[in-house]
Amino acid sequence: MPAARWYFQHEAIAVPQSGHPVADFERGVLAFDDIRHWRAARAADAALDYPPLVWVAAPEVIRNARLTGDGGTLTFGSMQIPIELTPKIPLNRSYFDATSVRFFASRGVDARGTSREDGKFVVRTLWPRDFAMAQAPGPAHLPQGENPALAVRALMRDTPDGGAREAFDARMLWRREGSDPAWRGKTVLAFIVNGAQGDDDEAHGGHFAIVTGKVSGDGNIGDWLVNNFYTLDSESEKGIIAGPVPLDNYLADLNSGQSYYRPSYMLVAVLAQERAAALVQSALGRVYNQFYRHQLAYYHPTANCASISIDTLRALGWSIPTRGATSRTLAWLGFPFIAFKERSIAKAKLAFDYLEADQTRLMPAAALEELFGSVLALVESGGRDDGELAQMMARDVDALTWLRIPQIPSSRAFGSAPAVTTWEYRSRVPTDPAMVQIVPVPPRMFPDELRERDLVPEPRHPSDFAATVWGIVSVIGIPLMLVAFLRRWRRRRSG
């Protein structure tokens, strides 16, 4: 579609071959109403609708290679291929350095890139092949009777830096009794949370995405597909564009790879059949279509990476528990205070929406915790009285695996586990505004000629109602209070 082509006009993408079913979208409706309508009309055993595109980033892949100790050559069998790194984006604060060379030279790698006429291979992504799930891993030994959410939180925080400096690790969280222990070729539906960045005070909450794929014979997970939602209306300092992207590029692109900035954690559901993953991936293709055409607009408090993902799962019939707002009372009482202090209604509205948002739609770590608890409850209950996706998960999940993916050494500061609550997030941000680390980025203006006429206005934000109420109070209520005070003062003087 024209909007998607515009965003990826300078990037390498893959599109489905002619004849394959491709995700479509409904016009004149909100994005998640589109998902609900489509799900109601879709057969339970329908085939996968392919994503509208996959951002492969580079057209070629060299698999199972080695990087030489000087970082200048890839060895592949008997071949030696001179390489050059894709240029660093100017706004990017970090890049591949000597510590990165040492890290990759000690293991097998897959490389995404482009061959040049001079014989050099320009590397876009280096992926460590030992970041793999070759066989059923050992158990995680979760404490008996512990709340599942707290168990997941403990796994993310079992080292002071959230595993950023540790080795790749895989642990079995749960396995269905009698299920096939051979996972080769089985479908996975996974949920990934990237941790807090070490030098960006806008990124302590981490990032969330849904992953689909199949278990390969050698355990490689780099080809799993990550459905990454990210703001479209500004230019990322890392070059990130929202879209379905292979896991190796999502984590290890030299500029945008999440593993260069922080540790990551993945909850992997190994499925007995592919229907749940096909349903989710097909739906996400529709969401991307609505996202690119701006029927669904990114707004960090209520339409962010976590909320778009969780809202998709809920629209498909998985009632993931909510945690409620951070504090509605503080949101309402704080509105006039922030507006006066910052001299900005816009900042007061933003703070209100953050405090009002359901925490499972706002905080990636909270979403992951509730997902783990929910899927455990589904497999134990059989999914009774639940929606379509929940019933599929209840019947089809053979195992739940936990993957901890460390940070790749580079010139970047090491990250840590993500904040779980708004209060924890605020505690990590310096109180002195001059000490807050933020990377300013330029806007990316969506062309008016690509904005279609059938777009439906999005529902108003909760803060719009708050602004109206406080506006009425300030225009009518405060003068009335002053008049009443003046009258009492006059009566006292005359008495």
Segments in 78-210 forming alpha helices (H): 98-105, 148-156
pLDDT, tens only, 319-356: 999 999 999 999 999 988 898 888 899 999 999 999 99
Helix, strand, coil percentages (3-state) for the chain, rounded to 5, are 35, 20, 45
Q: What is the DSSP letter of 239?
A: -
What is the average per-residue pLDDT within 292-301?
95
- Residues 131-135: what's their mean pLDDT? 84
Q: Are strands 243-246 and 225-228 parallel, antiparallel or unpaired?
A: antiparallel
Residue 416 confidence class, pLDDT cut points 50, 70, 90: very high
Compute the distance between CA of residue 77 and CA of residue 66 in angstroms, rounded to an integer: 9
420 vs 483: CA distance, rounded Å: 47
Amino acid at 159: T
Choose the most confident range, by mean pLDDT, from 145-149, 235-239, 431-435.
235-239
- Residue of 363, 354, 442, 343 lying closest to 203 (CA atoms): 363
Looking at residue 258, its pLDDT comes to 96
pLDDT at residue 44, as a whole number: 82
For the chain, the average pLDDT equals 92
Query: Is the model more confident about 429 or about 486?
Result: 429
pLDDT band at 143 (very low <50, low <70, confident <90, very high): low
Other C-beta atoms within 10 Å of 122: how many? 16
The confidence score (pLDDT) of residue 32 equals 97
User: 454, 34 in Cβ contact below 8 A?
Assistant: no
Task: Specify the pLDDT at position 90.
Answer: 92
Q: What is the mean pLDDT of residues 216-228?
A: 94
Residue 135 in this model has a pLDDT that exceeds 80:
no
Q: How many Å apart are CA 341 and CA 346, to the nearest integer?
A: 12
- In which residue are the tokens 């080695």 written? 66
- What pLDDT does residue 471 have? 80
Among residues 309, 424, 291, 294, the alpha carbon closest in space to that of 361 is found at: 309
The torsion region of residue 103 among left (phi > 0), alpha (psi -120 to 50) and beta comes to alpha
pLDDT at residue number 488: 73
Residue 268 has phi, psi (to 5 degrees) of -110, 120
Cβ proximity of 373 and 147 under 8 Å: yes
Closest CA to 133 of 182, 94, 85, 180: 182
Q: What percent of the chain has pLDDT over 90?
A: 79
pLDDT at position 474 over 80: no
Is 477's pLDDT higher than 60? no
Res. 495: pLDDT tops 70: no
65 touches 76 (CB < 8 A): yes
Burial 408-447 (b: 16+ CB within 10 A, else e): bbbebbbbbbbbbbbeebeeeeeeeeeeeeebeeeeeebe
Question: pLDDT tens, 280-291?
Answer: 999 999 999 999
